[in-house]
Amino acid sequence: MAKRIFITATNTDIGKTYVTTHLLKHYAALGFKVGVIKPIETGVEDTPIDGSLLLSLVQSLNPAMTKLDLKDIVPIQFELPAAPYCANGAKPIDLSIVDEAIKKIEPLCDILIIEGAGGLYVPLDKETMMIDLIKRFAAKALLVSHCRLGCINDTLLSIKALQEMNVNFIWTLNCHADDLNFHQVSEPYFKDNFPDFTVFKDDIAHIAKTLLL
């Protein structure tokens, strides 16, 4: 079985796809055969935007992935840009579709990156939240947080949720060029309480190595 890494975040538009693509490139540069899957994508009108990007990239990095198509990479798609619970009218979601896709992808790679949608408590249906997928797929998680005002609260809440679910995880901050006040309004707390905290763009090599442990 490939090493499974689940990319999650404190909310939507935090940078999960950015992190996923850079980890794929990093692992491929180290000689690993990489694979990727985004189990659920919403806001799909004609084609899944994130899924298309991921498929194109992973096929360029691992020729064995050319056997796959978009339905393998994004097995569950909804048109409405909303939580799957709402996009699917609160009906049950058949996750066995994702299980089958993983069975198809995994023999082709050493490392399988699974990209979640939204944050940890995005509801999939009445029984399942996004955080439940991490346990279902027996993956190690990378929690991605932001560097804007509010990142302390968002990060701590998500860390607490993962700890309460006994999820094996590490976390990082995805800072943008315009997060100019991070060093003043948030970084002092992280330095005092998490002296080994990481910023993804600066610490990708360390993060990638730790995810394999």
Q: Hey, what long-range contacts does 157-161 have (CB within 8 A, 24 or more apart)?
A: 157/10, 158/8, 158/9, 158/10, 158/119, 158/120, 161/120, 161/121, 161/131
Pairing of strands 140-145, 169-173: parallel
Packed helices 16-29 and 200-211: angle between N→C axes, nearest 10 degrees: 60
Catalytic residue chosen out of the listed positions 3, 25, 33, 38: 38
Stated as kind and residue range, the H or E segment containing 41 is strand 40-41
- Annotation says 38 is catalytic: yes
Name the DSSP class of 213: -
Residue 190 neighbours by CB under 8 Å, 6+ apart = 152, 173, 197
How many angstroms separate the first and last alpha carbons of the chain? 15
Alpha-carbon distance of 130 to 145, in angstroms, equals 16
Alpha-carbon distance of 187 to 205, in angstroms, equals 21
Catalytically annotated residues = 38
